[in-house]
Amino acid sequence: MVSYDEYLKNPCGSLSLPYWKSQTLSLPANMRIVHDSNFFPELLNEYTDERYFRLYHNLKDVENTCPEAIELITASQNETDNIVSIINNSYYDIHVDSAQMESYMQTPVYCKELWLLAVEKRTGKYIGSGIADYDPEIKELILEWIQVLPPYRGKGIGQALVNELLLRMKNTAGFATVSGKVDNPTNPEALYRRCGFTGDDIWHILQRQ
């Protein structure tokens, strides 16, 4: 198991997920997680492979990039259904429900100021959302959900959500991390890199065939 100090020295290279999750994670017997530096092609004879990037941000040089037509607000706990609707209409392969989202509010890293909604000022419509966690022990800001409804993509709203989360914790957190699928057709990695995230750590989620 990776220690607290080891994680702080190399958050994205030492673990495939945030430190707090690693303390309770129990992998299924048919699953392995390996860093790209320890991956070899012969593993594909036994396992399917899904690659995830993990990136780091030092919380310096963060800009407010919210488009004039959009307002970013803190989501109240009774707006869970709105976030659920945005998530389910933003992905073809992900479905969540209110109970699942509410369970995230019971974790030790839940921070109500880090649940955001993007609102189109002209119509009042919710068109995007962002959720992050904060681990006060590690002082790690953890971006978990960033999504924008398909008709509103390419307008800088995703970048605005990411930057707003970074700005809100700029003077509190020591660093931020984010993870996502390397082969996601929407290319979330490019978004995070535009927002100042860096790194080249890739993790392979292997499941026995």
Token pair, residue 75, equals: 């989501």
User: In whole angstroms, what is the distance from residue 41 CA to residue 169 CA?
Assistant: 40
Q: Give the 3-state secondary structure of residue 70.
A: strand
Where are the domains positioned within the chain?
57-207
At 111-149, the pLDDT tens digits run 999 999 999 999 999 999 999 999 999 999 999 999 999
Tell me what pLDDT residue 92 has: 84
User: For residues 185 and 169, which has the higher predicted lDDT (pLDDT)?
Assistant: 169
Backbone dihedral region for residue 199 (phi beyond 0: left; psi -120 to 50: alpha; all else: beta): left
When pLDDT is cut at 50, 70 and 90, the band that residue 84 belongs to is very high
When pLDDT is cut at 50, 70 and 90, the band that residue 158 belongs to is very high
pLDDT exceeds cutoff 90 at 93: no
Q: Is the separation of the CB atoms in 74 and 56 below 8 Å? A: no
Query: Of 135, 126, 112, which is closest to residue 20 (Cα–Cα)?
Result: 135
Q: Is the separation of the CB atoms in 120 and 127 below 8 Å? A: yes
Question: 57-207 belongs to which homologous superfamily?
Answer: Gcn5-related N-acetyltransferase (GNAT) (3.40.630.30)
At 17-55, the pLDDT tens digits run 999 999 988 999 999 999 999 999 999 999 999 999 999
Tell me phi and psi for residue 132, to 5 degrees.
-135, 160
H or E segment to which residue 103 belongs: helix 98-104
